[in-house]
Structure 1
């Protein structure tokens, strides 16, 4: 009897071990079958529409579309730092809302924590325009009154949650802000030394709006900025303005052949102290704020879209000709070239928009109401009907297929 018991015990342990191993094998199979020519399981594409309040959430892995209704049409879309949420900015309607993908990162895997839905967190603001998300915060610079609206990612679904307003006693202007890792902000100032809506200098404030460091440098106009938490970089017609949290400021000269051209767009990269500067008049350049160098990545005056990839390691450009080019930011070498779309007129009222993961480029086709999925491994292009006039696009979620929800 005893022998029979031990034999059964041994067999049950053996079968448990076998199941455990087979589960491991399943996991490895899942991972192995997650071919690089397929999108990651937990990547989502969010799109707005020009004419309607429709938002489209596309799951490329499942080839599935979900539709939602935003407060207004023609919304600008931005992904928050965590990747889970989107900020939906309605500049002309003085409103900001949030969207929750429902995906939650748990270190080595992703959980589907909830269904995709709008967040509770929302705010009214005067001409909210410039969006940033760092250190768990969601921020807009409000052009209408020069204030900041600050919310927390952790509060997106919290009942009664709201944005707080930071008033730094600024004049209304087309401004921008950048967050430092220590929780202070570099924020643009308008002193009217230049006509128009562009600011001329940058000061550093705390989260109450109090000035910690006054502006040190005056420019002839600022537009576009990015921050890696240590350096805040602003595009300016006087040079590339670099600001540190201790109040240090410097200007880096544009390349000698720029003439009056300057970077109106600055993008973050995955490399500390390195940023992308873009101007349609010259092209896209790598700015190293430590070495004070500006190197061309692509010198071209026909760039329609210029975006960093979701992991900030590659630079993607889409030319008016429809040619798509992908550059490795660390080597500045071309990683991929493909004819992605038909030609777009330079004076087209609505141009294709683009977002890029490490496996796909997603490009809107406003004329056909489609989303083009450009496979960066095989160069194959799939089309998906999304809405009548797709307007803006952003990536949500995680470049991962690891889950414990088997």
Structure 2
């Protein structure tokens, strides 16, 4: 009798354990396969305003707005390499500040490490304009004096943290830089062989500003660049300039029908050695620096915004007509197209800005003070009031819905 009682007790405990485990599995499964018609739990949208110091953080998953006050209005916003932080550039006020989403990626899940807030890392420099973030660094090129400012993501919340200045002995110019995986930089230089503010050459320097490899090629003007850590790619009127950390340089010829057009914007993709070149005069093209080829993705002169998705696997193009087109960068195929906004005049002083995640396109509406949230699966559009005149937009956080709690 006693044996039977213990046997029953054991079976009952076993069944409780099995149900408990089963529930755990179910919960874990539900969490893993979150609803793809909703945004990832740990994605945030950061917006600045043209006329006010309002900085808006939008949590799409919770449909929640948080308001902050930037140092100045009309700030440019950029996401750091880790996705946790944003760089906020006040070019006209010679100031750069940082913002912390508080969302820390830990392998397969995200920890809420802190509340959203401004970082302690900030710095003054002369006309900070061009932003980049690689190998844990936050970089600006300062047009006012041709220097670089460098900070570390790890220092964003450290008391007294500031940006370090790197002087490579350059003339002041509208320049750019790119970081190589080995910690050196490709940086533009101006010798005034071309009239205007644009630089003509690129050299490779170390983090003290010392020249490691002098420029090998001269161009008719450079604007726009990107880097995958191996190749630094610059848009130039003489072709696409490709620079490597060992000093190697080459020009990839522009398509024959370009005439005087050239890529003023270069975007990074998820594929190594492949970049997007964009010019309003022709459209968006895939640049393969290994094979020295340039292939059209979209040939259109009515493009208002041309942006890669947060994971850099898709290319989103917003036309002045209000049409949005989404391309797969790997296959170059058009995957989605829809009417996303009202038509915008080509001479509008403030145009809609766009940021794209795996599941949504986010488009500012400067005239109504709204953020348009376009579901890429259903093509439904939701509008959220954000600030008086939304100016710039960037995605921060992580395309992940896994928390530590499970």
**In which range does the TM-score fall when normalised by the shorter chain?**
over 0.9
- Following superposition, the deviation at residue 20 of structure 1 comes to 2.7
Give the Cα–Cα distance (whole angstroms) in 1 for the partners of residues 375 and 289 of structure 2. 33
After superposition, residues 328-343 of structure 1 pair within 5 angstroms as 328-343=328-343
Q: Which residue of 1 is the match for residue 363 of structure 2?
A: 363
1:329-360 deviation digits (Å, cap 9, x = unpaired): 01110010000000000000000000000110
Q: Which residue of 1 is the match for residue 385 of structure 2?
A: 385
Give the Cα–Cα distance (whole angstroms) in 1 for the partners of residues 16 and 229 of structure 2. 52
After superposition, residues 236-251 of structure 1 pair within 5 angstroms as 236-251=236-251
Number of matched pairs: 405
- Following superposition, the deviation at residue 21 of structure 1 comes to 2.4
- Following superposition, the deviation at residue 30 of structure 1 comes to 2.6
Give the Cα–Cα distance (whole angstroms) in 2 for the partners of residues 102 and 7 of structure 1. 50
**Structure 1 gap segments, 5+ residues each:** none
Q: Which residue of 1 is the match for residue 29 of structure 2?
A: 28
After superposition, residues 316-355 of structure 1 pair within 5 angstroms as 316-355=316-355
- Following superposition, the deviation at residue 44 of structure 1 comes to 0.5
In the alignment, does 2:225 pair up with 1:225? yes
Q: Which residue of 2 is the match for residue 104 of structure 1?
A: 104
> 156-165 or 223-232: which moved more?
156-165
Secondary structure of 2:92's counterpart equals helix
Give the Cα–Cα distance (whole angstroms) in 1 for the partners of residues 229 and 64 of structure 2. 36
- Following superposition, the deviation at residue 13 of structure 1 comes to 5.2
Give the Cα–Cα distance (whole angstroms) in 1 for the partners of residues 147 and 9 of structure 2. 72
Secondary structure of 1:24's counterpart equals helix
- Following superposition, the deviation at residue 8 of structure 1 comes to 4.6
Give the Cα–Cα distance (whole angstroms) in 2 for the partners of residues 388 and 82 of structure 1. 30
TM-score (norm 2): 0.97
Give the Cα–Cα distance (whole angstroms) in 2 for the partners of residues 386 and 129 of structure 1. 25
1:12-44 deviation digits (Å, cap 9, x = unpaired): 454244323211211112333x22211111110
Q: Which residue of 2 is the match for residue 194 of structure 1?
A: 194
After superposition, residues 6-405 of structure 1 pair within 5 angstroms as 8=9, 11-12=12-13, 14-32=15-33, 34-405=34-405
Secondary structure of 1:99's counterpart equals strand
1:49-100 deviation digits (Å, cap 9, x = unpaired): 0011110000001100000001000000000000000000000000000000
Give the Cα–Cα distance (whole angstroms) in 1 for the partners of residues 24 and 125 of structure 2. 51
> 159-168 or 332-341: which moved more?
159-168
- Following superposition, the deviation at residue 158 of structure 1 comes to 1.2
TM-score (norm 1): 0.97
- Following superposition, the deviation at residue 11 of structure 1 comes to 4.0
Give the Cα–Cα distance (whole angstroms) in 2 for the partners of residues 398 and 242 of structure 1. 30
- Following superposition, the deviation at residue 234 of structure 1 comes to 0.2
Give the Cα–Cα distance (whole angstroms) in 1 for the partners of residues 271 and 250 of structure 2. 20
- Following superposition, the deviation at residue 2 of structure 1 comes to 8.0
Secondary structure of 2:22's counterpart equals helix
- Following superposition, the deviation at residue 195 of structure 1 comes to 1.3
Give the Cα–Cα distance (whole angstroms) in 1 for the partners of residues 167 and 405 of structure 2. 45
Give the Cα–Cα distance (whole angstroms) in 2 for the partners of residues 112 and 245 of structure 1. 37
Secondary structure of 2:301's counterpart equals coil
**Structure 2 gap segments, 5+ residues each:** none
Give the Cα–Cα distance (whole angstroms) in 2 for the partners of residues 29 and 177 of structure 1. 44
Give the Cα–Cα distance (whole angstroms) in 2 for the partners of residues 316 and 308 of structure 1. 6
- Following superposition, the deviation at residue 404 of structure 1 comes to 1.9
